[in-house]
Structure 1
């Protein structure tokens, strides 16, 4: 499985000149904990940073800054880790773990934003796979019981 197969294609994006208050309202509207900061280039939305709800709390609210006055560019994370759509999921997870990030934008070969993977998405996938394995084991046990009878 690769990053493009698991990523969420519905990504909420912002530009770096919007305010933190605008970003917070978008997070509330779309029920998300992060926004990908993009620049338009060559017909692509290219991710240049990410802003999380945690960034807003720790960097703005906890320091008593006015979210209506602070721009996203002053708060966002610039050291952005991305994954290509074709990157193996296991390698992507290892890169996320190595950098300590919970979200990773997924890009096409031209660098354009295609989706995002969050730890929550990975947990959902793993839970689904474990449920399938449990069902397999249960079915196998039932078949064995039928053959013994």
Structure 2
């Protein structure tokens, strides 16, 4: 499985000029956990940062930032850690594990945003792979069953000898 196969193609984006309040409303409206920051009015969605619901909560509450006047660009994480569209599940997990991130924007070879893959997406993909492996193991007779069958054939052949 590749990143493009498991990623969510519907990514909510925000411009760096928007306020934290506008970003929080986007998160709420789309029931999302993060926003990928892209430059406004550019036809190509090139990720320049990322901001999460946790970032906004921390800034607005713990640090008492003014959500109406603080701009996303001043607090976003940048540059964003990106995932190649053809990254394998193992590579995705390695990136997440090494960076401590739970969400990775997915970029095509030109660096354009084509999706986002989350830790939940990776877990679902891994679960599907394990389910496929389980089906193979259930369908294939166990080694013990094969040995018993071979022993039965052998014994039937021995009893038929003169």
After superposition, the C-alpha distances for 1:52-91 in whole angstroms (9 at most, x for unaligned) are: 0111112222112221121101221013111221222312
The aligned residue for residue 43 of structure 1 is 43
Give the structure-2-normalised TM-score.
0.79
Q: Which has the higher strand share?
A: 1
Structure of larger gyration radius? 2
Mapped partners of 1:50, 1:92: distance in 2? 17
Extract unaligned runs of 5+ from structure 2: 150-162
> 1:117 offset after TM fit, Å?
0.6
Mapped partners of 1:20, 1:78: distance in 2? 16
> Aligned pair count?
146
Extract unaligned runs of 5+ from structure 1: none
Matching of residue 84 in structure 1 with residue 84 in structure 2: yes
Give the structure-1-normalised TM-score.
0.85
Which deviates more from structure 2 when the two are superposed, residues 21-30 or residues 122-131? 122-131
> 1:42 offset after TM fit, Å?
6.9
Deviation beyond 6 Å, 4+ runs, structure 1: none
Q: How does 1:62-81 map to 2 (within 5 A)?
A: 62-81=62-81
Please give the root-mean-square deviation of Cα atoms over the aligned residues, in Å.
2.3
